[in-house]
Structure 1
Amino acid sequence: MSTTYSECMVLARVELEVAKRLVNEEISAYPAPIAGCDQQFNQLLSERHRITRALQELTAEVHIPTPRAP
Structure 2
Amino acid sequence: MLEYDYLENFTGDRRAIAVTLRNFASGLSGKLQNGDIVSVYVADYGDKKETLSPIELKYVEVLAVTLVN
Where on the TM-score scale, by shorter chain, does this alignment land: which range? under 0.3
Higher helix share: 1
Higher relative contact order (CA 8 A, sep 6+): 1
**Greater strand content:** 2
What TM-score, normalized to structure 1?
Answer: 0.20
Rg (Cα) greater in structure: 1
